[in-house]
């Protein structure tokens, strides 16, 4: 696969390298940017496994890399981290006409839109599942072993992508995931606009519905703060857990006392998630 990458930045950190690249995306029909952290162990002779990180509403490739405090441990564990942007970008990309934060640019919801005008660009599912991993594996010293994680909207993305592609990921984790978007205001707005009014089409991008219908036999870890103000109306953790239990799927799900939805919460538990993924990435 020949993809022209343009390096936007490169910085040494914890003896590894953090870099940003842009490229023309066939899946999204626009120029996209992603960030990659390569640990010091990574080389052509010793390629390393990859953790794909999906960020939440309003985020870009930068938020997690700068705020989560994940790079030191990733360097020690020998894991690359790839963080794509959260939606297509550019002046020609349609956006929420009201400029709201929960739809359009910055809010791609990791799905393939079917409704105009969104269907020409908003194919984040194809980008994350297919196009971006092919680029990473062709251009960087990594193996084909990969796991996936994310926060909030990105937690929704990591769960739905893993549930739909169990053969592709060694493990999946999520922090404060939107676990039943069909029953939340964010999800209903996004799904109606991107996918249309037929709720059966929404099931393909709803972790609760997917785990009911398909089950899952790979390791899952999730954390939610008990002081997360979005839990009741947007996240629906308990609904997801009940669906998993009914389907016979085991999940390590932690309710973290007093934590809210933000990056202080992510930073507090990201090392647990990195250790979790390392266990399964290096078991293959």
Indicate whether this model's pTM tops 0.95.
yes
Domain 5-282 has CATH 3.30.420.480: no
For the chain, the maximum distance between any two Cα atoms, rounded to a whole number of angstroms, is 51
| Helix and strand totals (H; E) in the chain | 10, 9
3-state SS class at 29: coil
User: What is the pLDDT tens value at each position of the chain, 284 positions in all?
Assistant: 468 999 999 999 999 999 999 999 999 999 999 999 999 999 999 999 999 999 999 999 999 999 999 999 999 999 999 999 999 999 999 999 999 999 999 999 999 999 999 999 999 999 999 999 999 999 999 999 999 999 999 999 999 999 999 999 999 999 999 999 999 999 999 999 999 999 999 999 999 999 999 999 999 999 999 999 999 999 999 999 999 999 999 999 999 999 999 999 999 999 999 999 999 999 96
Question: Residue 227: how many CB atoms within 10 A of its CB?
Answer: 13
Backbone dihedral region of 110: left (phi > 0), alpha (psi from -120 to 50 degrees) or beta?
left
Cα 81 from Cα 84, distance rounded (Å): 10
Which of the residues are catalytic? Answer: 152, 228, 261
Q: Which two tokens stand for residue 58?
A: 């309003």
């Amino acid at each position: 696969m020949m993809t022209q990458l343009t390096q936007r930045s490169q910085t040494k950190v914890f003896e590894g390298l953090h870099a940003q690249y842009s490229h023309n995306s066939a899946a999204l029909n626009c120029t996209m940017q992603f960030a990659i952290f390569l640990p010091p162990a990574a080389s052509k002779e010793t390629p390393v496994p990859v953790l794909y990180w999906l960020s939440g509403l309003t985020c870009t490739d930068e938020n997690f890399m700068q705020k989560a405090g994940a790079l030191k441990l990733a360097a020690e564990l020998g894991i690359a981290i790839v963080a794509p942007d959260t939606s297509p970008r550019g002046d020609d990309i349609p956006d929420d006409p009201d400029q709201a934060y929960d739809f359009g640019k910055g809010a791609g919801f990791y799905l393939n839109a079917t409704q105009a005008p969104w269907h020409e660009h908003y194919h984040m599912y194809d980008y994350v599942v297919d196009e971006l991993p092919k680029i990473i594996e062709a251009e960087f010293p990594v193996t084909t072993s990969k796991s996936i994680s994310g926060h909030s909207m990105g937690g929704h993305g990591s769960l739905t992508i893993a549930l739909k592609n169990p053969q592709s990921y060694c493990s999946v984790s999520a922090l404060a995931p939107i676990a039943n978007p069909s029953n939340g205001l964010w999800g209903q707005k996004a799904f109606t606009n991107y996918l249309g009014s037929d709720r059966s089409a929404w099931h393909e991008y709803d972790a609760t519905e997917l785990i009911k219908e398909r089950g899952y036999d790979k390791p899952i870890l999730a954390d939610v703060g008990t002081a997360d103000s979005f839990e009741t109306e947007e996240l629906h953790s308990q609904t997801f857990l009940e669906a998993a239990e009914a389907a016979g799927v085991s999940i390590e799900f932690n309710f973290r006392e007093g934590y809210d939805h933000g990056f202080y919460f992510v930073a507090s538990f990201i090392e647990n998630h990195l250790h979790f993924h390392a266990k399964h990435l290096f078991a293959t």
